[in-house]
Amino acid sequence: MHKRPLEILIFGAGAVGSTFGWRLAQNPFVRLSAVCRSNYTSVKTNGIHLRTTLWGNGSFRPHRVVKAVSDVQNVAFDYVVCANKLTPSDAVSFAEAIRPAVRPTTTLVSVQNGINVERPLKHMFEGNTILSAICYASCQQPLPGQVQQLTQIRPFAFAIGTYHSGSTDTQSENNKLEKLVSLDSKFKAIKDVNTERWTKMMFNGSLNPVSALTGLNSHQLLQDSPSLTLAHRLAEEIYEVASRSGANLPADSVSRTISCLQSPAPIVPSMLQDARDGRQMEVEALCGNIWRQADAVGVSVPAVKATYDALTSMNQKIGIPRQYTFESDPHTPVADLSTDLASETSRRASKHLLYDVQPSITPVAA
């Protein structure tokens, strides 16, 4: 029996954060707070509405909806869930942003994409328990406060484990993990966070970037040979980095990754969602951290670095009108630009060359 409500804060109530929070809020002893940004007004007024294939449809209103962590700094949170996207401006600052909500007894949960994403939390909150959650459900927020989950690449939604940081009190950490996992039947406890992160990274570091470059969803990628070739090459390089980094991945991990494209419903990866909506893509978390880890363990990853360069160039243009074209042809649509960029990336990667051509881009006239 819980003597008091289990206080949980969701930092970043986007599609994934809203889905995770919704499942937690189904428990009557959980008191959920949410830090919202662009969807603050909608969530504050109308709550969050979800359509999902894993759990059915539903809606909920967080107990507290705030714009900043400082608005709830007096609450003794048991868990702080970081579900924010790791764009260049957020990669380090998010740990500082959640500081007002963190006490020595607070458990931190990273539900963020990428590898090594827990390090900022470990650096700032060395004495706290840190859990790492890997999302296998494809979630979208087409409108503020309106979330859809149409498909998933595993039978469960979130794999959650302890981010081992040298703590001697492993029983306490395991108890906190078990308590969180018990809150939903689609949460799964795992023992090897490193391997699980790299397993998801096989998908996120290959199919996600290629989808963003080409503008194609998972089913469309299957029909596009050059894009599929690039995705396969990226998965091969990531597999080598993962293996050298201590991950125990199956020998057929590359083929398993590509087979995810055959999901019943087409997957629109997060990078493609961001590119379509004119938002910064998580290039550092999903590409940059891979090649930095590759350098650390001595693995050559020319395709990863080429793709990173191409996506960084695209990211630099986000914030101005969403459609871009080559200066030499003012009528080229955005899809053609992405395809050309991906084709050049694929060609250079196949020859172990870095992408060193930065095409001049200007916005399409409104």
Q: Where are the domains of the chain?
A: 6-191, 199-363
Q: Determine contact, residues 156/136, Cβ cutoff 8 Å.
A: yes
Alpha-carbon Rg for the chain in angstroms: 20
Can you give the pLDDT of all 366 residues of the chain as single tens digits? 447 899 999 999 999 999 999 999 999 999 999 999 999 999 999 999 999 999 999 999 999 999 999 999 999 999 999 999 876 545 458 899 999 999 999 999 999 988 888 988 999 999 999 999 999 998 989 999 999 998 887 889 999 999 975 555 689 999 999 999 999 999 999 999 999 999 999 988 999 999 999 999 999 998 999 999 999 999 999 999 999 999 999 999 999 999 888 888 888 888 998 898 888 898 988 899 999 999 999 999 999 999 999 999 998 887 533 333 323 232 333 334 344 444 544 444 444 332 232 322 222 222
Strand, coil or helix: 147: strand
* Residues 145, 49 contacting (CB under 8 angstroms): yes
Residues serving a catalytic function are 200
d(CA 361, CA 325): 6
Tens-digit pLDDT profile for residues 308-366: 999 999 988 875 333 333 232 323 333 343 444 445 444 444 443 322 323 222 222 22
Q: What is the pLDDT of residues 76-88, one digit of tens each?
A: 999 999 999 876 5
The secondary structure element, H or E, covering residue 48 is strand 48-52
Strand, coil or helix: 275:
helix
* 199-363 CATH fold: N-(1-d-carboxylethyl)-l-norvaline Dehydrogenase; domain 2 (1.10.1040)
- C-beta of residue 29 within 8 angstroms of C-beta of residue 45: no
3-class secondary structure, 313: helix
Tokens of 169: 């009190």
Class of domain 6-191: alpha beta
Contacts of residue 130, Cβ cutoff 8 Å, sequence gap at least 6? 107, 108, 109, 110, 118, 121, 122, 162, 163, 165
Cα three-residue angle 216-218-222, rounded to 5 degrees? 90
Q: How many Cβ atoms are within 10 Å of 49's Cβ, its own excluded? A: 18
Taking a C-beta distance cutoff of 8 angstroms, is the pair 7, 31 a contact? yes
DSSP structure class, residue 72: G
